[in-house]
Structure 1
Amino acid sequence: MATKTPKDAKAKKIACAKRAAPANSKLPEMVGSGEMAKFLDITPRRLGQLVSEGVLRKEGRGKFPLTFNVKAFIDFKVQGEVSKLAPNSADKLAQRREQALVRKMAREDRELITIDEAMEALEDVTGEFLTSMSTLPAQITRDLDERRRIEKICDGERSRLVGSFLKTTKALQQGSGASEAKSEDDAG
């Protein structure tokens, strides 16, 4: 029994290809359904589905315009691949729901707070701090001249801090961080 060599198999394929499509032959304008399905590498049933969906065109009884349908099939396949890559509205909705869930979980874990909560906390701390500074001169000395001197120093610091706190508040409300407001203070 003789074994086939790779050369024999290759020669057989070339011979089959030559019989199927001679070099000087033109492609037929119309083909039957079996040939069309074979040419597109799909089943006859799928061919019928594509005709029903309006992707492919059939002219007459079982006759298909070859070049038109090949182009239409390629366009159909390309459009299918492009639509797979582009996010659709359902994907965008799912993504937004996921983002909302992540934010909700972060709030529940106290990793995230609203701007209103942050502003309220900043106002409370600022008010407490400035009030505390007002009581310092009386706590430091009973000497009225010395107390006035300390009050003057504290008033200057209080004014500076109020300006800094206002810049920080404004930065937070605009969506920039408190560190950005601080760097503006350092630069100015």
Structure 2
Amino acid sequence: MVGSAEMAKCLGVTTRRLGQLVSEGVLRKEGRGKFPLAFNVKAFIDFKVQSEVSGLAPSSADKLAQTREQALLRKMAREDREIIAMEEAMEALEDVTGEFLTTMSTLPAQITRDLEERSRIEKICDGERKRLAKSFVKTTQALQQGRRASSAQTEDDAR
């Protein structure tokens, strides 16, 4: 058994905090100003450990605040054009793809007036246009499935 001043000193708290811990039921006091030392040291350690553990586990209010913060960060990123909606990205990819493939169709006529040479160039361009169209479709599918666009090319390279 120790007095309140000695008990507070052993636990590294003030005598006032010691009284609060007794009121909260964390520590036990026997008689006037008498504390069982071993019991209270163990009880105080258990209390501190439990406080640490519960402080690490996020409460539902913490989770809600975190969710709201993430939503706000996404909104700000959209407004700053750091991210865009998937639908908007797909429309842009479709526009660029269409424009590119259309341009490839006009190349043979721009290159030569010789019909035989133009036919030969058209066959080359058609083959490349088909290959690129397949590649664009795979890239679009990869993006829609949440994979990186480069993963669609990696799959082609593996074949």
TM-score, normalised to structure 2, is 0.74
- The unaligned stretches of length 5 or more in structure 1 are 1-29
The equivalent residue for 1:116 is 87
Within the alignment, does 1:161 sit opposite 2:141 as a pair? Answer: no
The equivalent residue for 1:56 is 27
Within the alignment, does 1:181 sit opposite 2:119 as a pair? Answer: no
- Relative to 1, partners in 2 of residues 1:183 and 1:48: Cα closer, same or farther, differing over 3 Å? same
Distance apart, 1:67 and its partner CA: 2.0
Within the alignment, does 1:88 sit opposite 2:81 as a pair? Answer: no
Q: Which amino acid aligns with 1:103?
A: R
- Where relative contact order (Cα < 8 A, 6+ residues apart) is larger, the structure is 2
Within the alignment, does 1:68 sit opposite 2:39 as a pair? Answer: yes
How well do the aligned residues superpose, as a CA RMSD in angstroms?
3.0
The equivalent residue for 1:78 is 49
Larger Rg over CA atoms: 1
C-alpha separation in 2, matches of 1:39 and 1:136: 88
C-alpha separation in 1, matches of 2:107 and 2:12: 90
Percent identity between matched residues is: 80
- The unaligned stretches of length 5 or more in structure 2 are none
Partner of residue 103 from structure 2, selected from 132, 135, 151: 132
Distance apart, 1:45 and its partner CA: 2.7
- Count of matched residue positions in the alignment of Structure 1 and Structure 2: 158
Distance apart, 1:122 and its partner CA: 0.5
- Relative to 1, partners in 2 of residues 1:143 and 1:95: Cα closer, same or farther, differing over 3 Å? same
C-alpha separation in 2, matches of 1:155 and 1:70: 83
Distance apart, 1:121 and its partner CA: 0.5
The equivalent residue for 1:8 is none
